[in-house]
């Protein structure tokens, strides 16, 4: 009789949890994804998926459908907060595919999330359980048991805590985390393109830099929307949440001396949201026997390299490959996964924090000084050093050890 496939419990149906579910399903595992929310969904916001992430999306079987769903910007540029002076950062589009084999996508989060959920359910209709909030777990030599709010217990062979920045699974493993407020607040919002002048319709990602703040914007949904993120140093707001509403006036006030293009973008936002940015030190380990963590649950990062969700995608693929390569010994597979992911994700957490100082440098207050500063910090060599190692990483081939059956097979 054929052995039963391992049953993996995943707490959290965010981008990371669903990627992990698909990567496991494609390698023959059974999954149960426990999601606290009563309905599936994602916030109305965009995110950038560099080639190292779109490679993972291809691995989980979404490669054919993504081009219809995602935007591929032609490139990225840096602009100065007050004069609007512009520098090229790098080319994207065909260049990303040529250099790294995969596109750099700009994706509306809810679109990707819905696509992932559909694929998970097509493979296993009962895979996602809604209204299932994990509050703790226990394990023994044969498996794990997750406790849900309300008292129900769900048993499986392995547990993956993909339950985000406020992870209950992390807390059950390691106790409360030591998050520190960074002194930065992130504004986010969507702007319909028809509210913007034509020169802001360009198919480019733009990174405005200035003393004490920066702004990122890029097109979504074939350019019909523009995703706005504005980060400002401010100490009076400390709630870390995707759903806290702010007002256009408050956001405008935070960027009151900035270039007219930034003001136009903010004026076009239908509903701005604000998120206090907290930082956490990289963890030394996040695996305990048959339980492990993934994504923001174990390495939440400031969004200054645009790699948080991409790291969760990489985690999902590497974790599935490790479990597939160590089917007879899941705890060994999880340790291998952790060993492969610790250094890279810690480097990203530190690199993102370093970008805060770079983007918000006081030298940017003076236009002449700013020009020298940008030439120094954003010249081709510096940019290559900061991004090449990120984009060229291949989660589908890192050495997972064990047996040779770690590739997706269906």
Ligand X SMILES: Cc1cc2nc3c(=O)[nH]c(=O)nc-3n(C[C@H](O)[C@H](O)[C@H](O)COP(=O)(O)OP(=O)(O)OC[C@H]3O[C@@H](n4cnc5c(N)ncnc54)[C@H](O)[C@@H]3O)c2cc1C
Residue 310 binds to ligand X (criterion: CB under 6 A)? yes
Q: Which of residues 185-224 bind ligand X (CB under 6 A)?
A: 186, 188
Q: Of these, 228, 275, 286, 391, which contacts ligand X (CB under 6 A)?
A: 275
Say whether 105 is catalytic: no
The region of 81-89, 200-208, 295-303, 362-370 touching ligand X under the rule CB under 6 A is: 295-303
Which residue, 120 or 186, has its beta carbon nearer to ligand X?
Answer: 186
Which residue, 119 or 327, has its beta carbon nearer to ligand X?
Answer: 119
Which residue, 268 or 316, has its beta carbon nearer to ligand X?
Answer: 316
The region of 14-22, 83-91, 189-197, 325-333 touching ligand X under the rule CB under 6 A is: 14-22
Which residue, 205 or 210, has its beta carbon nearer to ligand X?
Answer: 205
Choice among 105, 218, 337, 393 that is catalytic: 218
Residue 37 binds to ligand X (criterion: CB under 6 A)? yes
- Number of residues counted as binding ligand X (CB under 6 A): 34
C-beta separation of 6 from 30 below 8 A: yes
Q: Of these, 6, 10, 14, 127, which contacts ligand X (CB under 6 A)?
A: 14
Residue 163 binds to ligand X (criterion: CB under 6 A)? yes
Q: Of these, 303, 330, 333, 351, which contacts ligand X (CB under 6 A)?
A: 303
Residues forming contacts to ligand X in the complex (CB under 6 A) are 11-17, 34-37, 47-48, 133-134, 162-165, 168, 186, 188, 229, 275, 295-297, 303, 306-310, 312
Q: Which residues are catalytic?
A: 218
């Amino acid at each position: 009789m054929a052995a039963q496939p391992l049953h993996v419990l995943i707490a959290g149906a965010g981008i990371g949890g669903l990627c992990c579910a698909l990567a496991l399903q494609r390698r023959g595992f059974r999954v149960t994804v426990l999601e606290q929310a009563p309905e599936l969904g994602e916030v109305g916001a965009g995110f950038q998926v560099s080639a190292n992430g779109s490679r993972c999306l291809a691995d989980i079987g979404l490669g054919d459908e993504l081009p219809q769903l995602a935007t591929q910007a032609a490139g990225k540029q840096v602009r100065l907060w007050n004069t609007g002076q512009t520098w090229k950062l790098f080319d994207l589009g065909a260049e990303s595919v040529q250099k790294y084999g995969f596109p750099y996508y700009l994706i509306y989060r809810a679109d990707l999330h819905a696509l992932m959920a559909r694929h998970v359910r097509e493979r296993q209709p009962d895979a996602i359980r809604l209204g299932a909030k994990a509050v703790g777990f226990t394990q023994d030599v044969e498996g794990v048991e997750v406790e849900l709010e309300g008292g129900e217990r769900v048993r499986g062979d392995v547990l993956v805590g993909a339950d985000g920045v406020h992870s209950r699974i992390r807390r059950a493993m390691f106790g409360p985390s030591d998050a520190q407020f960074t002194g930065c607040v992130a504004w986010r919002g969507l702007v319909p393109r028809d509210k913007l002048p034509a020169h802001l319709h360009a198919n480019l990602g733009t990174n405005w830099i200035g003393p004490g703040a920066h702004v990122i914007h890029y097109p979504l949904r074939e350019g019909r929307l523009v995703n706005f993120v504005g980060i400002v140093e401010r100490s009076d707001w400390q709630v870390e949440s995707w759903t806290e509403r702010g007002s256009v006036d408050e956001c405008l006030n935070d960027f009151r001396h900035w270039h007219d293009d930034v003001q136009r973008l903010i004026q076009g936002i239908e509903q701005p949201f604000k998120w206090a940015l907290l930082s956490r030190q990289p963890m030394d380990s996040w695996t305990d026997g048959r339980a492990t963590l993934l994504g923001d649950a174990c390495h939440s990062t400031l969004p200054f390299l645009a790699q948080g969700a991409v790291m969760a995608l990489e985690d999902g693929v590497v974790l599935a490959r490790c479990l597939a390569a160590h089917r007879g010994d899941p705890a060994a597979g999880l340790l291998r996964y952790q060993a492969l992911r610790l250094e890279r994700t810690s480097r990203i957490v530190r690199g993102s924090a370093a970008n805060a100082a770079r983007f918000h440098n006081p030298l940017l207050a003076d236009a002449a000084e700013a020009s020298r500063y940008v030439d120094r910090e954003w010249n081709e060599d510096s940019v290559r050093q900061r991004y090449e190692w990120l984009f060229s990483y291949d989660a589908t081939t890192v050495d997972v050890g064990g047996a040779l059956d770690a590739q997706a097979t269906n």
